[in-house]
Structure 1
Amino acid sequence: MKPSIPQGTRDFGPETVRKRQYIFQTIRSVFEQYGFQPLETPSMENLDTLMGKYGEEGDKLIFKILNNGLDNPAKTAQTQEGFSKILEGKNTKVITERALRYDLTIPFARYVAMNHAQLVMPFKRYQIQPVWRADRPQKGRYREFYQCDADVVGSRSLLNEVELTLIYATVFQRLGIPVDIRINNRKILAALAAACGGSEQLTDITVAIDKLDKIGLEKVQEELFTRGLTPQQVATISAYLAIDGSNAEKINALKALLGNESLALEGTNELTYILSNIAPLLGEEKARVTIDFTLARGLNYYTGTIYEVKANGVQMGSIGGGGRYDDLTGLFGVPNIPGVGISFGVDRIYDVMEELALFPDSVLVSTEVLFFNLGDAEVTVALQLSHQLRQAGIRCEIYHEQAKFNKQFGYAEKKQIPYVAILGEKELTEKTINIKNMHSGEQQTISWSALEEFFHK
């Protein structure tokens, strides 16, 4: 049988892993600079933990895991009954009671609910782990992919939103990706729903608006009609979606449309606070922060500021998103723990950096120096010298067998090793070594005692 992997998953070779690690390390270093602590949760959660947390669209994409022991004869009848329910679109613990995590936010909320009494609040955590979605694979969309999240729980302060916005700007500046950081506020969307008949309309409105980029305004309007909204209500939503201009002009237009709604005022005040505080701090970052009232993020748990990040110059979906979720832990019986967080889509960030050729050449350097293998006596000394360099933090290796120079040079070139070290009989006698720069072709002879200093320079 020809070997294969599941659709929507990928193998990563050394070059790809190094590039991905570069992204992870960049994000992690910024998280650490802002005082966030690392956290990991299990790959699978109880199904009840996940279901009902992502809206009707999200629930359909949760990967469910079959229980073990389904081949137990004593369970045969239950199993058959359970599969019948699954085919009817129902969940049954006879067949499955666990699922692969859909994102990192709900597992984090579950962790906080279980451990809040021991946590120092506000608790700032970051998490870098894979998640799974039963989605249709396409460019920038995979069934297994990594997320990098940073969240703060136990604080309602908008300073958290300011710092999370700066984290986005800093990370993408360091990666060299020009981005638009788009922000909105769910309170504004709640005010829109109130203007269109009441808060019970919020989910219908946000789920439809969240599809605007994919299906266009006309299809969104059609969906709103099918969800029971009146022509007047759809007209109000259409006017809302048409708001444009500078950040200040957008806020003024919103006030003109929804000025009588108190939640709209709260939402715009929060956006104004964030924008006014980050403006003097962005400096030369390749990031633009703009209000986007079409941004909805169709997840039910967001309650305040919401984020989405798009890369400029490439055809790609969002490469980051998040928001405030002041009642998320209440889903697990622990109310009144506010939270806010952001997420980085590493796989899409990788694709963007590949397309824009943003990875530095140094990312691909694994071995810094290759010692040639010219005989047993030479290898004995090479082992000693390479050990000395490794102790000093310099990555090096010895060619595995005696071979012609061309073959060993070819190995160094294919692995993009920047230096080769050549020891012959003469060098053994003089206790020297020839170092060749593979990029410039320059070669020099140095003493064994000066080798470590040479590479540190």
Structure 2
Amino acid sequence: MQKPSIPKGTRDFGPAQVARRRFILDTIRRTFERFGYAPLETPTLENLSVLTGKYGDEGDQLLFKVLNSGDFAKDVTSEDLSEGSRRILPKIAEKGLRYDLTVPFARYVAMNRGTLTFPFRRYQMQPVWRADRPQRGRYREFMQCDADVVGTSSLLCETEIVLMISEVLPALGLDDFTIKINHRGVLSGLFQALGEGRETDLFVALDKLDKIGPDGVSKELGERGFSEASIAKVFELLAVSGSFEEKLTQLQAGLSASVAVLASADGPADEAAPSDGARGLAQLAEVLDLLRASGFKQESRLELDPTLARGLSYYTGCIFEVKINNVQMGSVSGGGRYDNLTGAFGLPNVSGVGFSFGVDRLYDCLEALDLFRQPAETPTRCLLTHFDAASGRAALPVLARLRAAGIPSELYPDPVKLGRQLQYANAKGIPLVLLLGPEELAAGVVKVKIMASGEEKTLPLAGIEQALSAE
């Protein structure tokens, strides 16, 4: 007999785990709706033409492709086989599992542009899939909770992202966290100050700084064609410290000086060169100003991190990432501004911004910090005992009344010893056991046993649902 198993990077969730995950999801959902976001869902499967080319080369490699139904290889020729996977793939797989929720959302907006009211706010809470190497905090199937706005370039949206993050995490019991923020324009200004290499190569390498450290990033930049002088300049420009405002000032001075040096060495600088960095720094300053105007009291948790790159290639403006400081875990939230993602689907020049909570990483952080209340194995609040056939039948109308009153209840299915029934209730975390035996039925009463304390109360059977609802 084959031993049952599940694919690596996926997990089963038992009742207690589902209850804990529901607590996280409900907390996030309440915040999203309080900020005016409406729910949306998109299919698990998307056409590969929708997904590919949106996440960069590394992202495309992590897409799960779904084989066509039937004889999926019927159109593959020997010539295709000799050419390799790139030639074969379009003939055997037309669909894939969604990699994130943002690209499907952009596809949805483009397809439904005539029915939407812009700016359009939506939140989405669904699983996504990535063919990543499984490890703690990184899974191949995981839940994301996204909130996005499209149809406006207002930085008020970025401001509200910070406000929502700052509301959700404390509500979950997570008080020690940092919201890192940067701007793709700052990174573009950094690249323009170097005057060599490819911009995407710089972004991809910097995005790995937390994982591989400065030496690893230096090595990767060297392998991607950057000179030792440029690599040294990168780290010199990134070496800023102090408050959010102090870092803004230092970055402005560093980028301006580098552009001036580049212009004097190579002739007149491209007019766009200084503007990208300056625009990014100005927008970051405006976000800080809007936060203060909103009464934001957690400025110490907001960090300007010029090394933050976010690997997804569609970001164009402010970018965010959130780290829980007292847990060894990757980011639990991230996002940013994208100015033309819908353009890939025939709806150009529609700016959007959004972010996502990673439910699975939040769960792991809460578990590591022992912040979960011990959940019951079941939502059942009352267990009715079953002594014999007569008492079991007599309990049925009582069970119906309890359920009609909104009290989750169940009747133990078999007439077994009371100890076994109490053991069942205790194991599942059912707080109340209703003892309804022949004596209680004859007297028109019910004994209510409170499992946590062992206390028993005798209450009239008539109106028992009202009595329990009042507690």
The normalised TM-score by structure 2 is 0.91
Q: Distance in 2 between matches of 1:278 and 1:417?
A: 45
Q: CA deviation at 1:81?
A: 4.5
The whole-number CA distance in structure 1 between the counterparts of 2:281 and 2:462 is: 66
Show the counterpart of 1:96. 93
Confirm whether residue 336 of structure 1 aligns to residue 349 of structure 2: yes
Is the contact between residue 321 and residue 335 of structure 2 (CA under 8 Å) also seen in structure 1? yes
Query: 1:180·1:288 contact (CA, 8 Å) conserved in 2?
Result: yes
Instruction: Give 1:138 deviation, angstroms.
Output: 0.8
Q: Deviations over 1:164-207 (max 9, x none)?
A: 11111111111111321111111111111121227x73211110
1:139-182 alpha-carbon deviations (Å, 9 max, x no partner): 11111111111110011111111111111111111111132111
Among candidates 174, 182, 185, match of residue 171 of structure 2: 174
Q: Helix, strand or coil: the match of 1:361? A: coil
Question: Paired residue for 2:340?
Answer: 327
Match of 1:220 among 200, 217, 220: 217
Q: Which moved more, 1:434-443 or 1:254-263?
A: 254-263
The letter of the residue matching 1:29 is R
Equivalent residues in 2 for 1:28-47 (5 A)? 28-47=29-48
Greater shift, 424-433 or 22-31, is seen at 424-433
Letter of the structure 1 residue corresponding to residue 99 of structure 2: Y
Q: For 1:48, give the aligned amino acid.
A: S
Q: 2:423 aligns with which of 404, 410, 419?
A: 410
Indicate the RMSD between aligned Cα atoms, in angstroms: 2.0
Question: How far has the Cα of 1:404 moved from its partner?
Answer: 0.9
Q: Give me the whole-angstrom Cα distance separating, in 2, the residues matched to 1:275 and 1:79.
A: 58
Q: How far apart in 2 are the matches of 1:166 and 1:453?
A: 41
Matched AA of 2:242 = G
Cα distance, 1:177–1:240 mapped onto 2, change above 3 Å: same
CA–CA separation in structure 2 for the residues paired with 1:150 and 1:91 = 36
**1:431-450 matches, cutoff 5 A:** 431-450=444-463
Aligned to 1:351: 364
Q: Which residue of 2 aligns with 1:150?
A: 147
Q: Which whole-Å deviations, capped at 9, do the CAs of 1:46-78 have from their partners, x for residues lacking one?
A: 111111111111111111111223267xx26x2
The answer to whether the 8 A contact 2:376-2:429 is kept is: no
Aligned residue-pair number: 451
Does the aligned pair in 2 maintain the 1:370–1:420 contact within 8 Å? Answer: yes
User: Which residue number in structure 2 is paired with residue 430 of structure 1?
Assistant: 443
Q: What is residue 241 of structure 2 aligned with on the other side?
A: 244
Alpha-carbon contact 1:243-1:254 (below 8 Å) kept: yes
| TM-score where L is the length of structure 1 | 0.94
Does residue 123 (structure 1) correspond to residue 120 (structure 2)? The answer is yes
Q: Percent identity, aligned pairs only? A: 49
Amino acid at match of 2:64: F
1:368 to 376, 381, 392: 381
Tell me the residue number matched to 2:264. none
1:133 aligned residue (120, 130, 133)? 130
* 1:203-233 CA-partner distances (Å, limit 9, x unpaired): 1111010010111112211222222223332
Match of 1:162 in 2: 159
Deviation at 1:40, TM superposition (A): 1.2
Gaps of 5+ in 2: 260-273
For residues 297-308 of structure 1, the aligned pairs below 5 Å read 297-308=310-321
- Larger deviation, residues 210-219 vs 251-260: 251-260
- Find out whether 1:197 has 2:210 as its counterpart: no
**Could you say if the C-alpha distance between residues 365 and 273 of structure 1 is closer, same or farther in structure 2, counting changes exceeding 3 Å?**
farther
Matched with 1:188 is 186
Among candidates 327, 330, 346, match of residue 314 of structure 1: 327
**Equivalent residues of 1:169, 1:287 under 8 A apart:** no
Greater shift, 226-235 or 5-14, is seen at 226-235
Q: Distance in 2 between matches of 1:290 and 1:91?
A: 46
